[in-house]
Structure 1
Amino acid sequence: MPEKILLVDDEQELLAVLKRSLGRQGYVVDTASTGQEAWKALSETAYDLVVSDLAMEPMSGLELLKQIRTIDHIQPFIIMTGAGTIETAVEAIKLGAYHYITKPFKTQELALLARRAIEYGRLHRKLETFSEREQQADSGAMVIGNNALMQQMMTMVEKVSDSDVSILIQGETGTGKSLFARRIHNASSRADKPFFTIDCGALSENLLESELFGHVKGAFTGAIRAKRGLLEEAQGGTIFLDEIGELTPSTQVKLLRAIQEKEIKPVGGNTPITVDVRFLSATSRNLEEAVEAGEFRKDLYYRLAVIPLHLPALRNRQEDMVLFVGHFVHKFNVRYNKKVQSLTPGAMQTLRDSPWKGNIRELENVIERAVLLAEGQTISVEDLCAHPICFPETEGGEEGAVSLKQAVKNAEIKAIRQALAAAEGNRSKAAKILGIGRRTLYDKIESYDI
């Protein structure tokens, strides 16, 4: 369902322009010419965002915001203001407005601000209403999220859910490969049967083979009794082989036989055992490159990757950031008996700007720390800045070398972003922090496309 925006301004021409512009972004847009009209519209319709001019008569945008806050402390609200009323706009921020935008502005600027304000409001409504039941349901939905590629992959998985086809999941560390494997199992006809995970990179060759195939008594030193392998234990279910790219050549041969012949031999044994399992596997390595380098068997790769999937990195899943943040805030509220209910706009911007090299796992770590450090019910930029996301690495060439001009540019971008985050997006305050004029800051923001 498209998000709804209410535009409030006494300039009809501006209302028409903004309505067309936001409408092209996929929003449903209503307009009001006065604060009273807006208040009436709000009593009849639930809006995802209100964008209001500040200087209106007889009810100003600030008065409209105050009235809204008597019944709704979350409603996202953006103030449009002229250059001479910045101080009043700052007062609106203190009352809970998401942000202000100074006239004249580009319609693209408002569209970007609107998207972030709606996202911000969605997160805080979710945090306020999150129950334990919803948390459990959200754990499964979070794996897929709203990302189009993830949705497409899950549609493909559902098409083959009743088959025994092997699926290889690739992606960077921390992208949720194990959670996605569990989701595949739960969507399959084997959902009521066992699901076992083996980390192929954490065990020695002998121990891994014993875990997979089992062993007979006396097969090796310490084998004082026979043991069934997980492939036998998982009869009718699913085996998830994590970090499959770490298998030794010898184990690769034995696994290939298990997949092809559907039978195994315990370590030290001679009697084959028939197994009925589905194989899911995952790796952060590029297995195709490993095959080309002779490090991984081509025939095993094709057996494992009948359906190959590649999970996108978190930096390519910005639309799911709210879902992840809401999930983790609630999780750690429960774990540590905290009551965090919101993040400041600056904190959300800091999260959005991070490169997230550790992906979802890194985000979880950051939110856990921030929930613990938060003094009250709100996570601020300072709560996040115990983590290096506030100090991103400077981008350079392959060896990290950059020209002096580029180094200066990178340093300025980094300093401006930190100042804007610390000032919660207030450009005047950020300019003071940086020790430069407001106009100079505006020019640099536009020049660097920050």
Structure 2
Amino acid sequence: MTDGKEYGFDTLQIHGGAQPDPATGARQTPIYQTTAYVFRDAEHAAKLFNLEEVGYIYSRLTNPTVSALQERIALLEGGAGAVCCSSGHAAQIMALFPLMGPGCNVVASTRLYGGTVTQFSQTIKRFGWSAKFVDFDDPAAVAAAIDDNTRAVFGESVANPGGYVTDIRAIADVSDAAGIPLIIDNTSATPYLCNPIKQGATLVVHSTTKYLTGNGTVTGGCVVDSGKFDWSANDKFPSLSQPEPAYHGLVFHEALGPMAFTFHSIAVGLRDLGMTLNPQAAHYTLMGIETLSLRMARHTENAEKIAAWLERDPRVEYVTYAGLPSSPYYERAKACYPKGTGGLFTFALKGGYDACVKLVNSLELFSHVANLGDARSLIIHSASTTHRQLTPEQQEAAGAGPNVVRLSIGIEDADDLIADLDQALAAASA
């Protein structure tokens, strides 16, 4: 879809990146299950390897099915380009990889998925990187945490697990003033509910495993580049602004402009890290995205109804859903997320840890799994699972205390889900 026309979201989610197959006329994007691609001749091969021509070399780097998915997600997010990879966690490393170096740090929100907190606080130390965790409700604190070695600011649009909403524009103003990119994980909101690039984000990451695919079948990740950041404004990002030895001194930003980050992520990131998305997984995600707006509207509608019911229940201590008028994030959500805040939130039980365990074990329609964004409704007790590696203080900061369960509301009949929660709450409080 390169004709210059402005298309609506519902059109882009179906047609973006999906042209009829030139060989067969197939209307659905085929699964190009191939490792390598035949070059026209020796000169063609040399140009591809020198980044002088765009094309397909080897499926660790590029694949037509994956390319279609990359184009579709970039269009939905309003980005210049995108690169898909094997998981959401891979996408986070891929986003940081061209920016960081030994001794560098990322300033990250305290309200992040527990696995991300572990990745940032523990695993990235092995690269010589570090993370500073700051409350993103306090932009001044974010600004104070940035130092000469900070190379990125990282947050979630709608935070997992609590469903807290970030004022992306306020944090973008801080990162812009410091001359560093803002990375927003948009997994929970999806581009249907939130467009981080329009609100000032430089990069957007997704676990495509979740709402974009929407059916709990495959894992995947994606990094979308806005194409708006000046990587050459200072000397902080040499991977993009200085000669690359592996490509005979090519300067990615100078040569590729708005596509510099995307091409670097493919030509260097996927080449050397190998976090490749397989074409069958890309195909599942392409099909899932075709109904994204329909599903997200239903996820949100159901979540609003169920969160309001839970808030009125005397067995429940509190509900974190930002779509509730009682939420401290309600006004921010209305302003920044006018279509709603999705299907993810937590609630606390008055019976504490033991009541949470009984609740989880008593549910029938809700599936107890370590996932979110499925068409089915899901539940998990984060403190004993996804956030188990964190300290009690980190768990509380992330909104995953011992008395809290996380719900990912699906697209079933909301009244049936309420009935299931009601009988499980009865068992948990007995």
TM-score category of the 2 structures, normalised to the smaller one: under 0.3
The normalised TM-score by structure 2 is: 0.24
Q: Which one has the largest radius of gyration?
A: 1
